[in-house]
Amino acid sequence: MTPEALAAIHKAAFPGDPWSAAALAAFAADPAALLVARPDGFILLRVVLDEAEILTFAVAPVAQGQGLGTALLQEAMAQARVRGVRRIFLEVAADNDPARALYRRAGFVQAGLRRGYYPRSGRTAIDALLLERKLA
């Protein structure tokens, strides 16, 4: 999938804070990157030794609620295991209930909190929940 296609999905999923094609291309080109992409969504991780961090995860609104996010996350975790990853981390906005539910179903647990991490236009910044999942 091209960086432009990834950027279009990211913009649809995060209209207030989309990543550019150039930024996505740079992350994906990193040898530590793990990218799993489908026509309506993608997940991008960075693997360092036996840990991985989900950098961004986007599903186009037209495909949300249809299991694509779960499939992408499961595939990313499987590929991470193959690379020797034992733990995956991420940050999620405290007000992103659908994402929090997805991660909870996938076995992620809260490992920390970053107060006021996500700015919101005209509103108080939202906390980021630091989540972790151990891989067997």
Q: Which letter, b or e, does each residue of 30-41 get, where b requires 16 or more Cβ atoms within 10 Å of its Cβ?
A: eeeebbbbbebb
103 classed as catalytic = yes
Rounded-to-integer distance, Cα 43 and Cα 72, Å: 7
91 classed as catalytic = yes
Q: What is the pLDDT along the chain (136 residues), one digit of tens a residue?
A: 899 999 999 999 988 778 999 999 999 899 999 999 999 999 999 999 999 999 999 999 999 989 999 999 999 999 999 999 999 999 999 999 999 999 999 999 999 999 988 887 788 888 999 999 999 7
- Alpha-helix runs per DSSP H in 30-135: 68-82, 97-105
**Element at 21 (helix H, strand E):** helix 21-29
Candidate list 51, 75, 91, 132, residue with the active-site label: 91
Kindly report whether the global pTM for this prediction surpasses the value 0.85.
yes
Assess contact for 46 and 30: CB atoms under 8 A.
yes
Question: Domains of the chain by range and CATH?
Answer: 3-134 (3.40.630.30)
